[in-house]
A and B are shown apart, each in its own frame.
Chain A
């Protein structure tokens, strides 16, 4: 039992945190009576503990708890979309580039190199500033900036997997290339895709918040944690709770997902085990 706690304790903690965020996102309308966009100018900037507003209200009198809970929806939605898009596109490109070495693969990896020679957050920010603001565009920007990691990792894995005996055997048996690729190579690189996805998930959510914080990305009045933090800066002297709670929600979400990611890596990839 002690061994289980030692090895899986952090995974359990991470899963618990992630599950809490998921519940907050899915059940937000059931958990709070307030609409996150409902303004009440008579009740602006009320501190936490005010009856009816456990976390207080913002400058427009909107209920902070409702906004933080609905913010989980925005964060998870963006995170999930980005992870699915990048895993699909990056994974597929990496798979093809590794399986069919040749000039297309080489060109692809050059593009990946160029992209990796630029800080991720700055790249996503620049793309977002140019393609435009809003929920859809932030997903596009983060995905365009993030696919290379999968392509790199998957390609490397494929290069080694395809030289293994069982692949040669399947090839000798006369299997088609598509079948070889998707039935024999893909399952063997899938754990890497899952690991990268779990580690990228939190990065996407934090990057989205950072970009929205800078004034790009998701725009008010959508209750996104990043733009809430951005607005809170103007009230830092009078209302600390506007900065404290959305940020804490963001940090706990990232923590939960990171812990799950670390744990998945330990369990799925024996090479990383100490």
Chain B
């Protein structure tokens, strides 16, 4: 177990390091950010002085070395736009994004698992048909369009919900539904097929033969054994939820990490972009790590292999 944890830790560090390196070099290939921050009629002399001060005139290898050295201390430089410490800025936006992601994940589970189980148990029924039609639609409808349509209906027409921002529980409703729709749809379909597979297993037959109530056969024997693919997908999706938050947060003006990243990319605010990449990849790998640990609990067979 310890060897496994250590190798996973090494893997995590490698992933974070490589993604930072890739983004650093891509960013430097992308042109000169200094030009964006100075007036159009600036003298070449001043421009050069500004560049010199920010270190953009040094050889690329030196810039990279300095970047890595600072990054190891959690120092990604100052935001070119907000003049704050980039990592501080990114971390200050993280709670809003995590709150949204957790809420959306909760909604996904609460909707997808019952729908998927019900569709599997009542296979071929109207419930199955409606549930799966909804799931296919949910996977096809792009979140940002759903978001716009919801804003039109619930904010513009009916005036029930705020168009954007954060504050009251009401502010959570639309971003959460929009973010969850795609993942809930996919998870419902996976739950259905996973439960269908498990229902064919012999231990389910045994449980039924013992005369156990159907509630227990499904709730205890089937569901726990169908959980592995569902948890895997949930783990992968939690990471993707962070990516989806980029779009959802922009539509609903949610003050989170995704919106900050989009703005930083639009403004070519590279210290913030790099810090955001760092936080995203750390969060994502930590989530996947947590999912791996969950497997051991759900399926003792994987414990021996690890």
Q: Which residues of A contact B (CB under 8 A)?
A: 10, 110-111, 113-114, 117-123, 125-127, 129-132, 202, 206, 209-210, 213-216, 229, 232-233, 236-237, 240, 243-244, 247-248, 250-252, 254-255, 258-259, 262, 274
A-chain residues with CB within 8 Å of residue B148 when the two chains form the complex = 229, 232-233, 236, 243, 247
Binds A, one of B24-32, B45-53, B64-72: B24-32
Question: Per DSSP, are chain B's interface residues mostly helix, strand or loop, or mixed?
Answer: helix
- What is the 8 Å Cβ interface bit string for chain B, positions 234-252, against chain A (1 contact, 0 not)? 0000011011101100100
Partner pick for A215 among B243, B258, B266, B285, CB 8 A cutoff = B266
Assess whether B166 is interfacial by the CB under 8 Å rule: no
List 26 A–B pairs whose Cβ atoms lie within 8 Å, in order of A's numbering: A117-B15, A119-B239, A119-B240, A121-B243, A122-B243, A123-B243, A125-B262, A126-B273, A127-B26, A130-B27, A130-B30, A132-B30, A202-B140, A210-B142, A210-B247, A214-B246, A214-B250, A216-B265, A232-B148, A243-B148, A243-B152, A251-B142, A251-B145, A254-B140, A255-B137, A258-B136
Nearest 7 pairs of A and B residues by beta carbon: A119-B243, A247-B145, A255-B140, A129-B265, A130-B30, A122-B243, A254-B140
Q: Assuming A120-B240, A210-B247, A255-B136, is B193 touching A126 (CB within 8 A)?
A: no
Assess whether B151 is interfacial by the CB under 8 Å rule: yes
Q: How far is the CB of B5 from chain A (nearest CB, A)?
A: 18
Quick check: A114 and B19 within 8 Å, CB to CB?
A: yes
Q: How far is the CB of B140 from chain A (nearest CB, A)?
A: 4
Q: How far is the CB of B256 from chain A (nearest CB, A)?
A: 13
Assess whether B293 is interfacial by the CB under 8 Å rule: no
Q: Assuming A113-B15, A236-B148, A243-B148, is B262 touching A214 (CB within 8 A)?
A: yes
- Other A-B contacts than A122-B280, A202-B140, 5 sampled, CB-CB below 8 A, are A111-B18, A118-B277, A121-B240, A125-B265, A213-B247
Question: Per DSSP, are chain A's interface residues mostly helix, strand or loop, or mixed?
Answer: helix
A113–B7 CA distance with the chains assembled, in angstroms: 14
- What is the 8 Å Cβ interface bit string for chain B, positions 1-36, against chain A (1 contact, 0 not)? 000000000010011001100110011011000000
Quick check: B152 and A240 within 8 Å, CB to CB?
A: yes
Q: Which residues of B contact A (CB under 8 A)?
A: 11, 14-15, 18-19, 22-23, 26-27, 29-30, 136-137, 139-145, 148-149, 151-152, 156, 193, 196-197, 239-240, 242-244, 246-247, 250, 258, 261-262, 265-266, 273, 277, 280-281, 284-285, 288
A65–B169 CA distance with the chains assembled, in angstroms: 39
Q: How far is the CB of A123 from chain B (nearest CB, A)?
A: 8
A-chain residues with CB within 8 Å of residue B247 when the two chains form the complex = 121, 210, 213-214
A-chain residues with CB within 8 Å of residue B243 when the two chains form the complex = 118-123
A-chain residues with CB within 8 Å of residue B152 when the two chains form the complex = 236, 240, 243
